[in-house]
Amino acid sequence: MKFATLKNGHRDGSLVLVSRDLNSAVSLIDHVPTMQCLMETWAQWEAPLEALYQDLNDGNCQQAFAFDSSLVMAPLPRSYQWCDASAFLNHGELLQKAFNLPPQAEMETIPLMYQGAADDFLGARDDIRLPTEDHNIDFEGEFAVMVDDVPMGCSSTDAAQHIKLILLLNDVSLRGFIQREIQAGFGFLQAKPSTSFAPVAVTPDELVDGWRNERVCLPLNIEWNAEWFGSANGEEMNFSFSDLIAHAALTRKLGAGTIVGSGTVSNRDTRKGSSCIAERRALDMIQEGKPKTPFMSFGDRIRMEACLPDGGSVFGAIDQYIVQENVNV
């Protein structure tokens, strides 16, 4: 199944069920009006929504209407919890090598994870509004999962059953703040503005063979100003999403609707490109001794999409512009 949240003038939007080809949708206002409501009542609604989804895909849903991805919010416009990891070790290793950073202790056995701001997620076509280019604007292509209620101490094996939906996101980063906030030891704050999400969140079966070992085994295609930037595949994720959920739930339960991100998708084969500018700049340093790739500027466009082998878009595309917000900084 595929779900989206349409803008309706309210913070939580209106939940719709979207056809597999992303061409049509049906409102769920009479069943589960919001994504948060769905995540809290998943067991109750899974079977009837599967039946409705089949009718929608077969063209037998009389209430169906054309789906317009330009009218969506994030699938879950605001969450009680957003935990983002760094589950692709190659990404961290490249940055360490390029900038002579000390290795992270136990990085191969304990995943890195921080809590991000979850009160203001952006839709796939929303402008990324930021105060200044001087903060070194970067994009980060990631996959994520959304869970139902996860008990404290949940094992990695048991965590798989709590994964209900998969998402594609752009975890916007302001690199000018990151080093200072890392050194402060309290996690990211100013370095992490609002995160953007692709139009739809999908159940794992929608990925067909692209969902293996609790990993999204599909290329994440990224274009920056209409030029190819990367197609790194999520299959090289060193910690699975089940591992990440278990890590987050070690000392507390996770509420329904918690989103857990993979961190920047990164592959050891550099021919597949990168999923963020920081990694490309690290490769510049390693190969040529200095970073050549600039950070983003106002007016820049970023596009991200993951497709099945037959070309079908799984989540729809993130397609956004960087725009200046007029604030005092």
In 10 A of CB 243, how many CB atoms?
A: 20
Identify the pLDDT of residue 186: 85
pLDDT for 326 beyond 90: no
Write down the pLDDT at residue 329.
Answer: 55
Quote the CA–CA distance of 214 and 101 in Å, as a whole number.
30
pLDDT at 99 over 80: no
Q: Contact, 193 vs 231, CB < 8 A?
A: no
Residue 277: is its pLDDT beyond 80?
yes
As a whole number, mean pLDDT of residues 267-276 equals 96
Write the DSSP symbol of residue 105: T
pLDDT in tens, 6-39: 999 999 999 999 999 999 999 999 999 999 999 9
Task: Write down the domain spans for the chain.
Answer: 2-71, 82-324
| Residue 105 reports pLDDT greater than 80 | no
Predicted TM-score (pTM) of this structure: 0.96
Q: What is the pLDDT of residue 89?
A: 93
In this predicted structure, the answer to whether residue 71 has a pLDDT above a threshold of 70 is: yes
Cβ(94)–Cβ(283) under 8 Å?
yes
82-324: CATH, from 3.30.200.20, 3.90.850.10, 3.30.70.360, 2.70.98.10: 3.90.850.10
The DSSP line for 265-287 is ---S-GGGB-SBHHHHHHHHHHH
User: How far is residue 93's CA from residue 55's CA, in Å, rounded to a whole number?
Assistant: 48
What's the average model confidence in pLDDT over 184-201?
Answer: 93
How much is the pLDDT for 328? Answer: 72
Structure tokens that stand for 19 in this block: 């056809």
Closest CA to 169 of 299, 305, 71: 305
> What mean pLDDT is predicted for residues 279-293?
94
Q: Which amino acid is at 191?
A: A
Helix (H/G/I), strand (E/B), else coil: 159: helix
What does the mean pLDDT of the chain come to? 96
pLDDT of residue 271: 95
Report the side by side order of strands in the sheet with 227-233: 128-130, 318-324, 301-306, 219-224, 227-233
The structure tokens listed for 131 are 């105060």
Who contacts 102 (Cβ-Cβ below 8 Å, separation ≥6)? 96
The answer on pLDDT for 281 being more than 90 is yes
**Residue 69 φ/ψ, nearest 5 degrees:** -70, -10
pLDDT, position 183 = 83
Separation CA 92–CA 278 (nearest Å): 10
pLDDT of residue 95: 85
Distance CA 293, CA 188 (A): 24
Q: 238 pLDDT exceeds 70?
A: yes
Q: What is the mean pLDDT of residues 42-63?
A: 97
pLDDT value of residue 92: 87
